[in-house]
C-alpha cells in the first residue's frame, strides 16, 4: 500500500507542482490513513484493509468519523480529506479500483469555521421524536431517548457514549463516569430528564433486548454493544423525521457547550465537562454563545455545579 502512495506523491510533485510542504503533509496524512486501515480500533468495527482495491465509501465514512472524534482543526481535516480524495482519484485513474469511493466525500469548510449548534426548538423536536406514535413503548425507542438525552445532557463524544457500561451510571447521584482520550476519566452530571430517561430504559427497555451478560449500557437489537456507526444511523433517522438538517453526533456536543455558556456556565467548567485538555479548544464556543437561547437548554446551566473532575 505504501508503494502506491509513493507513486502518487511522485506524480503530484512532477505533474502538479505541489510544494515540498504540501507533499510532506500529504505523505503524513496518507501514512496515517494506511495505519488506520491496517489496524482500525476495535470500536470502529472496520475489518483491516491490506489492499487498496478493498477500500470502500463506507471505509472512508468511518475514517472521517474517526477524525471528527479526535477533534482535529477543521483546516487539518480539510487537508486530510483533500489528500485522500486526490489519492482515490489517482487509484481510479490507474485502474486499481473500478469506482472512486471518494466521489461523494465532502470537505469541511474552513473559513470562519464555527461549530454548528442546534437551536432550542431543534433540540425539543429531536428529543421528542423517540416518544412519538405507536413505537414509543418499544425498548429501542426508550434506548434512543435515553441516548439522546444523555448525549445532550453531558456533551460527551459519541465514542464515550457507546463505551458506557452499566456501572458507569449513578442515577441516585445523577452523574455518569466518562472515559475520554488517553484513558482520562471524569464524572459528568446528568440533568433530571436524562436521569429519568435512563432509568426508564434500564427498567423497561434494556431487559427486553439484553440477550447476554454484556455490561454495555446501550445495546443494539442483537443484544450487544451499540456502535458509533449504529448510533449515527439512529440519529440521522430521528433528525430526518424532525426535519433537522446538517446534524452529526458532534452537533449535540456543540449544542451542549453553546447552551451552557449562554446560560451562565463558566468556560472552565464546560472545559472539564467536555474533557478538553486545553481551554483554548473550548473557547471556540464563545463565538456562538450569546444568542439568548431558552427552553430545553436552561437546565444545562446547573450541571457544572455538581461536576466532579477526575483528571
268 or 220, greater pLDDT: 220
What confidence tens digit (pLDDT) does each residue in 95-136 have?
998 888 888 887 666 554 556 788 889 999 999 999 887 777
Q: How far apart are CA 231 and CA 236, in angstroms?
A: 9
What confidence tens digit (pLDDT) does each residue in 31-59 have?
999 999 999 887 777 889 988 989 988 88
* Average pLDDT over every residue of 263-289: 78
* Average pLDDT over every residue of 71-98: 87
Q: How far apart are CA 161 and CA 177, in angstroms?
A: 10
Q: How far apart are CA 176 and CA 138, in angstroms?
A: 24
Which active-site residues does the annotation give? 157, 181, 250, 253, 276, 285
Give yes or no on whether 2-93 and 120-306 have one common fold: no
What confidence tens digit (pLDDT) does each residue in 209-254 have?
998 888 999 999 889 999 988 999 999 999 999 999 888 888 888 8
What confidence tens digit (pLDDT) does each residue in 159-181 have?
899 999 999 999 999 999 988 77
Q: How far apart are CA 17 and CA 183, in angstroms?
A: 43
Predicted pLDDT at 138:
92
Please give the class, per CATH, of domain 120-306. mainly alpha
* Average pLDDT over every residue of 271-290: 76
State what percent of residues in the chain have pLDDT above 70: 88
Domain residue ranges of the chain, discontinuous segments joined by +:
2-93, 120-306
Q: Which residue has the cell 483528571?
A: 311
Predicted pLDDT at 302:
45
Q: How far apart are CA 255 and CA 248, in angstroms?
A: 11
Q: Which fold has domain 2-93?
A: DNA polymerase; domain 1 (1.10.150)
Predicted pLDDT at 308:
38
Per-residue H/E/C for 36-50: HHHCCCHHHCCCCCC
State whether residue 123 is helix, strand or coil: helix
Strands 175-179 and 185-189: antiparallel
Amino acid at each position: 500500500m505504501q508503494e502506491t502512495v509513493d507513486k502518487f506523491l511522485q506524480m503530484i510533485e512532477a505533474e502538479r507542482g505541489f510544494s515540498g510542504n504540501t507533499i510532506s503533509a500529504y505523505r503524513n496524512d496518507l501514512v496515517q490513513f494506511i495505519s488506520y486501515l491496517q489496524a482500525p480500533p476495535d470500536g470502529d468495527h472496520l475489518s483491516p484493509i491490506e489492499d487498496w482495491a478493498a477500500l470502500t465509501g463506507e471505509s472512508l465514512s468511518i475514517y472521517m468519523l474517526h477524525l471528527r472524534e479526535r477533534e482535529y482543526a477543521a483546516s487539518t481535516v480539510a487537508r486530510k480529506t483533500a489528500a485522500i480524495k486526490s489519492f482515490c482519484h489517482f487509484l481510479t485513474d490507474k485502474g486499481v479500483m473500478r469506482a472512486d469511493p471518494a466521489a461523494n466525500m465532502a470537505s469541511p469548510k474552513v473559513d470562519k469555521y464555527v461549530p454548528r449548534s442546534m437551536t432550542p426548538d431543534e433540540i425539543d423536536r429531536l428529543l421528542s421524536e423517540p416518544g412519538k406514535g405507536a413505537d414509543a413503548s418499544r425498548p429501542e425507542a426508550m434506548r434512543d431517548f435515553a441516548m439522546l438525552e444523555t448525549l445532550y445532557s453531558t456533551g460527551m463524544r459519541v465514542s464515550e457514549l457507546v463505551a458506557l457500561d452499566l456501572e458507569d451510571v449513578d442515577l441516585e447521584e445523577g452523574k455518569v463516569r466518562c472515559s475520554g482520550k488517553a484513558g482520562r476519566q471524569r464524572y459528568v452530571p446528568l440533568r433530571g430528564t436524562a436521569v429519568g430517561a435512563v432509568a426508564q430504559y434500564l427498567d423497561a427497555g434494556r431487559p427486553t433486548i439484553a440477550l447476554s451478560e454484556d455490561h454495555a449500557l446501550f445495546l443494539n437489537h442483537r443484544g450487544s454493544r451499540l456502535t458509533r456507526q449504529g448510533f449515527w444511523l439512529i440519529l440521522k433517522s430521528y433528525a430526518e423525521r424532525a426535519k433537522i438538517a446538517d446534524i452529526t453526533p458532534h452537533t449535540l456536543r456543540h449544542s451542549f457547550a453553546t447552551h451552557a455558556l449562554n446560560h451562565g456556565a463558566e468556560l472552565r467548567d464546560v472545559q472539564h465537562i467536555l474533557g478538553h485538555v486545553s481551554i483554548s479548544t473550548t473557547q471556540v464556543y464563545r463565538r456562538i454563545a450569546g444568542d439568548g437561547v431558552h427552553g430545553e437548554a436552561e437546565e444545562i446551566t446547573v450541571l457544572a455545579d455538581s461536576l466532579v473532575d477526575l483528571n
